[in-house]
Amino acid sequence: MIASDPARARRLVLFDIDGTILWTDGAGRRAVFQALEEHFGKSGPGEHRFDGKTDPQIVRELMRHAGVSDADIDARLDEVLDRYLALLRDELASTDHAQHVFPGVRELLDALESRGDVVLGLLTGNIHSGARAKLAAVGIDPERFVVGAFGSDHHERPELPEIARRRAERALGHPVAGHELVVIGDTPADVECGVSIGARAIGVATGRYSVDELRACGAAAVFADLTDTAAVVRAILAD
């Protein structure tokens, strides 16, 4: 079901999830570390940065760091990610943590959805089922996002915008040019990932990077948060 009129779509807006739409208060980290402990008997350095990375990339980096061979990582990657997903769902269902949606996100999604010229999408390092679980946990219907590209599609984030673009063409039934894509994310990896196909990036400093850091890596616009709905919509539609 496509909410927007495909004939009028001017922008495909691809949202990152963690640090951009929501914060899981460590649920993802705990689930990854426990899944690795169960399958490899070790979990790698606890301070390892996850932001901007895909789930398969995180597993590989942590296990390489712990001395596991790529062959062993490859052999167990699918089962580790399956276990991660089960643990993530348990973590998200727990009431012990403070997972939440960032200010202004719900209003921005509503505003974009009500327009005829914008299509909502996801571009995230989360595996597909993990993305859906995180969104559902904070009461955002994953079905609102017409297209998506996920860590389960490719372990390198720079490959994801082109995957999203092709899926948008299939879903909308018309060509979608790279410059019609807008990526919204909280890390330099989000800002830089769409450069090769001409996508524009909007940075939001609700994750671990500052406005200045996101601006320095080439974002077309940067916001401290997404509360100024009108300004964010203008930045999305700007040429």
**Interacting residue ranges for Mg ion, rule: CB under 5 A:** 16, 18-19, 186
Q: Determine contact, residues 203/194, Cβ cutoff 8 Å.
A: no
Nearer to Mg ion, 19 or 121 (CB): 19
CB under 8 Å, gap of 24 or more: what pairs does 72-76 form?
Answer: 72/40, 76/39, 76/40
Least distance to Mg ion from the beta carbon of 127, Å? 14
Q: Name the helix (H) or strand (E) containing 198.
A: none
Nearer CB in complex with Mg ion: 68/140? 140
Least distance from C-beta 65 to Mg ion, angstroms? 21
The residue nearest Mg ion at its CB is 19
Nearest approach, Cβ of 139 to Mg ion (angstroms)? Answer: 19
How many CB atoms lie under 10 A from the CB of residue 173? 10
Of 146 and 191, the one with the shorter C-beta distance to Mg ion is 191
Angle between helices 128-137 and 27-40 (to 10 degrees): 140
Closest CB 170 distance from Mg ion, rounded Å: 26
**CB 85, CB 129: distance < 8 Å:** yes
Q: Please say which residue, 9 or 120, places its beta carbon nearer to Mg ion.
A: 120
